[in-house]
Amino acid sequence: MDEEQKSVLLKSSSQFPIPPDVKFSYGTSGFRADALLLESTVFRAGILAALRSIKTRSMIGLMMTASHNKISDNGIKIADPSGGMLTQQWEPFADALANAPDSDRLLQLIVEFAEKENIKFDGDFRPEILLGRDTRPSGESLLEAAKQGIHSIVGSVGSDMGVVTTPQLHWMVRARNKGMKGSELEYFEQLSSSFRCLVDLIPGGSKTDSAENKLIVDGAHGVGGEKLDSLMKLLDGLNIEVRNSGKGTGILNEGVGADFVQKEKVVPDNFDSNDIGKRCASLDGDADRLVYFTVPSADSSKIDLVDGDKILSLFALYIKEQLSLLSTTGAEDNSYKPHLGVVQTAYANGASTDYLKGLGLEVALTPTGVKYLHEKAAEYDIGIYFEANGHGTILFSERFLSWLEDKNKELASASEGSQQQKAALRLLAVSKLINQAVGDALSVLLLVEAILQHKGWSIQYWNGLYQDLPSKQIKVIVKDRTAVVTTNAETQVASPQGIQEAINSETAKYPWGRSFIRPSGTEDVIRVYAEASTQDAADSLASSVAKLVDKYLGISSS
């Protein structure tokens, strides 16, 4: 790094001092905090993105969002060249940058890291970062701070994509690094054309009457509702009403959105007894999560939730069926058998895991966090992952897609229009409709709608694939969450000694009992999860395990 570059970094960073007594941590959600505290952090994230661009010789993304958090919060997520999240290997550097106390220390960290990573400031490559933001009022000024960070690496360019969903920005990064145009229009066109392809391939008689089969979508007063309105202009065969679109007077994520609906299990604002029995869905604030629900009766604000586990089950069932059609007599390729796997965390409802295993599917568990799920899903030819909160997607390996393209051509020449060829075409359409960079509420919604039409299912029938076991979550305050060390995808406790045996003993008292504990990634609490055959039993088991945490860790409050 030459002296000019050092001088630019020192001068620019001095304009963005870090707030006192605040420690930032980059996790699955990137950096996230009260927007008033974030200016220095997003400035430094801009520097990191430019360095990442130089290192990878690729385009990088920066998204300004706090997802389902309250409107006064904001945050920043970094998209890697694949469109996925920032590699975990760079997270410690991100933390160090965000918390460097002054400009001199910041420069020292950058110089040392650049030497370690062999990052060359030789001018042979022009770093480019795509910038996006959601609808939060703080987004515009924070985005300007990020641009200043990008420009402090000499020669770097920040391209502002405007107000977009988080998945759109990730998709754009992935598309452009693959040599595609990657604009919002191309995103909308790819989703709409892939959806139409799936609908056109529905077996005769399976299509539902769109005039009578309305989907009502809660847009969380965020960017997703606005973008869904735009997407609908390119679509036929869907009757969608968007509420809480962000164009009214409602407040982002307040009493609305996927996170609110999934956790509270109550109707969002602007839904009521007039919606009884109708198919409804909620996006979150930046449209990377989606859950479905129905309003069961006029007597309660409670809902029947159709969460990410149910979405995963629907997708797994559909894809398994298409693979089965593809491998029927006359289409089997003995030299290659695609490997399908589904990935969950320990928070997935036990009934969903049993259902998936009952279909003959391979189910893998990972620690909590989308980055772990995504990494594991990428090991399969087709990997499907979802969290119960509605964040998830489907990954297709390049090897599988290449094989599928060849298989489709082979079937088209031998038996065009056969069930085998239609199955190949459906799988190809799914690979284009689903956002393989990150969970995407809009693409997931379209795939759910296409599959429900294909199968002729109501939301009630879909929700009845299995019955969720009652569950309960509790937080126990501790002095030091690192005292709890877990193993086996966070389902077992390795330390402190003795607590796992005590949890096992307590769990054995309850029919269908299951419980685990894990340290929070952001605060000094231990999270307790429990399932059992009844809600009272799940509540009791969770309470008993919480008392064990208190006993073993010497904490007096919970």
Determine whether the annotation assigns residue 288 to a binding site: yes
Query: What is the per-residue pLDDT across 131-142, written as a single tens digit (0 to 9) for each?
Result: 999 999 999 999
Q: Where are the beta strands (DSSP E) in 23-168?
A: 31-34, 60-64, 73-79, 128-133, 157-163
What would the mean pLDDT of 424-434 be, rounded to a whole number?
98
- List domains and CATH numbers for the chain: 3-163 (3.40.120.10), 190-304 (3.40.120.10), 309-463 (3.40.120.10), 471-553 (3.30.310.50)
Which pLDDT value is given to residue 331?
Answer: 43
- What is the rounded distance in angstroms from the CA atom of residue 501 to the CA atom of residue 295? 41
In whole numbers, what is the pLDDT of the chain averaged over residues? 93
Least confident of 57-66, 344-353, 360-369, 472-481: 472-481
Query: Angle at CA 220, nearest 5°, toward 214 and 222?
Result: 115
DSSP for 169-209, written as a single string: HHHHHHHHHTTS---HHHHHHHHHHHHHHHHHTSPTT----
- What is the rounded distance in angstroms from the CA atom of residue 164 to the CA atom of residue 65? 10
pLDDT-derived band of residue 169, with 50, 70 and 90 as boundaries?
Answer: very high
DSSP 289: -
The set of catalytic residues is 67
Q: Which of 346, 350, 349 is nearest to 369 (CA)?
A: 346
Determine whether the annotation assigns residue 527 to a binding site: yes
Q: Which residue has the higher pLDDT, 70 or 237?
A: 70
Which pLDDT value is given to residue 163?
Answer: 97
pLDDT-derived band of residue 556, with 50, 70 and 90 as boundaries?
Answer: very low
Least confident of 95-99, 333-337, 390-394, 480-484: 333-337
Determine whether the annotation assigns residue 520 to a binding site: yes
Determine whether the annotation assigns residue 540 to a binding site: no
Q: Which of 489, 167, 508 is nearest to 348 (CA)?
A: 489
Determine whether the annotation assigns residue 212 to a binding site: no
Determine whether the annotation assigns residue 443 to a binding site: no
The residue with tokens 């504990």 is: 517
Which pLDDT value is given to residue 332?
Answer: 47
User: Is residue 143 pLDDT above 80, yes or no?
Assistant: yes
DSSP for 476-501, written as a single string: EE-S-GGG-EEETTTTEEEESTTHHH
pLDDT-derived band of residue 28, with 50, 70 and 90 as boundaries?
Answer: confident
- What is the rounded distance in angstroms from the CA atom of residue 311 to the CA atom of residue 463? 9
Which pLDDT value is given to residue 212?
Answer: 61
- What is the rounded distance in angstroms from the CA atom of residue 388 to the CA atom of residue 471? 12
User: Is residue 101 pLDDT above 90, yes or no?
Assistant: yes
What would the mean pLDDT of 282-288 be, rounded to a whole number?
97
What would the mean pLDDT of 495-513 be, rounded to a whole number?
96
DSSP bridge partners of 266: 302
What would the mean pLDDT of 381-395 be, rounded to a whole number?
97
What would the mean pLDDT of 8-19 be, rounded to a whole number?
96
Q: Give the best-scoring range by mean pLDDT among 94-103, 227-236, 515-524.
A: 94-103
Q: Which residue has the higher pLDDT, 336 or 46?
A: 46
Least confident of 202-206, 366-370, 403-407: 202-206
Which pLDDT value is given to residue 245?
Answer: 92
Q: Which residue has the higher pLDDT, 311 or 336?
A: 311
* Strand-strand pairing, 215-218 and 240-243: parallel
Which pLDDT value is given to residue 207?
Answer: 59
Which pLDDT value is given to residue 551?
Answer: 92
Which pLDDT value is given to residue 557?
Answer: 38
Collapse the DSSP code of 520 into the 3-class scheme (helix H, G, I; strand E, B; otherwise coil) and give the result: coil
The residue with tokens 């937080």 is: 475
Determine whether the annotation assigns residue 521 to a binding site: yes
Which pLDDT value is given to residue 524?
Answer: 81
pLDDT-derived band of residue 558, with 50, 70 and 90 as boundaries?
Answer: very low
